[in-house]
Amino acid sequence: MSKPVNVSKKQIPKGWENLRVGLERISNENDPLLREIILQEEATRFKKPVNDYRQLFESYKKNKAEFLPAYPQHRWSVMEWWLWFFNEVTPIKRNELLKNSFLTLIEKGVLITGAFAFVKWVMEAPQRKRQEQYQAWQIIHLAKGEEVSGARKQALEDLNRQKVSFAGLSCERAVLQEINLEKANLYRANLKNANLKGANLSDAILWNSHLSNADLTRANLKGANLMGANLNDANLNDANLSGANLNGAILWNALLWNTNFNGAILWNARLTNAQLFVADLSGADLSDADLSDADLSGADLSHANLSHANLSRANLSHANLSRANLSHANLSHANLSCASFLEVEQVKAAKSWKEALYNEDFRQLLGLPPEPELELEPELEPETASINYHQMVQQEIERVRKLP
């Protein structure tokens, strides 16, 4: 591999500046005849053969565009730069410099503009977010009083994604079917008579909210905070309330068929006349709850805490009471016939257990006398009436459990 050759000042031909001036003189001549005469004169002056000088001129013409003269001596002088650019720089090189400078300016301008736009976008993000939220709230307020509003539903979901609080929100009678308000803050919200079928309210804060007569069929309320919520006459059939906190919630006359309350907290909840048919209350805390006149037939109450609960006149037929805590629970006139996994010790730990209704076999285990025979309609024998009743309940339990 050959080494690069270093050219010293001594190796540069003497009078090369005069040579360049001569070649430039020939180049500036437009008349071919005069150009040839000048070329021969310059060749004679430099004592060069005419053909060699002509080759040198052709090479000069070819590379002239790449030549850039030395910069002005006084770099801060505008006049010297002006003269250098327009007098010394060749037109071709001048055009090239202008073009490159223009492209450089455009490139840098685009970069600067883009950077400025990005910084501006970042700085305006909070203001833009506030504007979006303001518009969403306008949609919600304008839809007040209207039952159906797709824009309101979308606005609520958008605001919830931004973790905006809905405390005190009023959406009475609103159709919000299958809305996604996971982890929403709906403290003291007014959702009376609202349609929330299939809604996702998992882990939502519904503390002291008003949901009376609301339709929450198949709604997901897993882990939701419903402390003190008013759910009078609400429809929660097939809803998921596993792990939810319903401490002190009001559920008078609520429809709770096949509802999942697994592990839920229902301490001091008011469930008078609630319809808990085949509901899953396994592991639920129902201590001090009022379940008087409630229908718990076919319900799963295994491992549930029913201590001090009011179960007077409640229907617990076919309910699963495996390891349920009935200590100090009020069983006055409760129906425990055909209840499964019921133990003598469980029952005797309750209050007024002697006044409850049991199967004859279990009455004997409890040491209770047989139930007095009830007067039945003439067309039905006692055994037939009992069989028909129990078959009907069992069939209804199986039917509901097979519901999608």
DSSP string for 175-225: B-TT-B-TT-B-TT-B-TT-B-TT-B-TT-B-TT-B-TT-B-TT-B-TT-B
Q: Is 124 helix (H, G, I), strand (E, B) or coil?
A: coil
Q: Give dist(CA 14, CA 359) in Å, integer.
A: 131
Residue 132 lies in a domain: no
Residue 370 lies in a domain: no
- 249 burial type by CB count under 10 A (0-12 exposed, 13-18 middle, 19+ buried): buried
H helices of 331-372, in order, are 344-348, 360-366
Q: How many structural domains does the chain have?
A: 1
Q: CA separation (Å) from 44 to 52, 115, 129, 295, 395?
A: 11, 62, 83, 127, 126
DSSP state of 74: S
Q: Give dist(CA 177, CA 191) in Å, integer.
A: 12
Residue 177 lies in a domain: no
Q: Give dist(CA 75, CA 93) in Å, integer.
A: 20
Q: How many CB atoms lie within 10 A of CB 94?
A: 15
pLDDT on residue 87: 74
Residue 81 lies in a domain: no
Model confidence, pTM:
0.66
Q: Taking Cα atoms as reference points, which of 204, 264, 261 lies closest to residue 238?
A: 261
Q: Give dist(CA 361, CA 76) in Å, integer.
A: 115
Average pLDDT of adjacent 10-residue blocks, the chain of 404 residues: 42 63 79 85 84 81 62 73 71 69 59 72 72 79 76 92 93 95 96 97 97 97 97 97 98 97 97 97 98 97 97 97 97 95 95 95 91 52 47 62 56
Q: What are the φ and ψ backbone dihedral angles of 170, each rounded to 5 degrees?
A: -115, 110
Residue 196 lies in a domain: no
Tokens found for residue 59: 């090479």
Query: What's the half-sphere exposure (Cβ side, CA atoms, 13 Å) at 326?
Result: 28
Q: Taking Cα atoms as reference points, which of 207, 204, 202, 197 lies closest to residue 174?
A: 197
Q: Give dist(CA 199, CA 214) in Å, integer.
A: 12
Residue 35 lies in a domain: yes
Q: How many CB atoms lie within 10 A of CB 109?
A: 10
Q: Give dist(CA 243, CA 234) in Å, integer.
A: 19
Domain that holds residue 19: 13-67
Tokens found for residue 237: 């059939």
Q: How many CB atoms lie within 10 A of CB 373?
A: 7
pLDDT on residue 168: 93
Residue 264 lies in a domain: no
Q: Is 244 helix (H, G, I), strand (E, B) or coil?
A: coil
Q: Give dist(CA 21, CA 7) in Å, integer.
A: 22
Q: Give dist(CA 298, CA 275) in Å, integer.
A: 11
Q: Give dist(CA 6, CA 24) in Å, integer.
A: 27
Strand runs labelled E in 311-399: none
Q: Taking Cα atoms as reference points, which of 58, 48, 51 lies closest to residue 26?
A: 58
Tokens found for residue 11: 């190796």
Residue 50 lies in a domain: yes
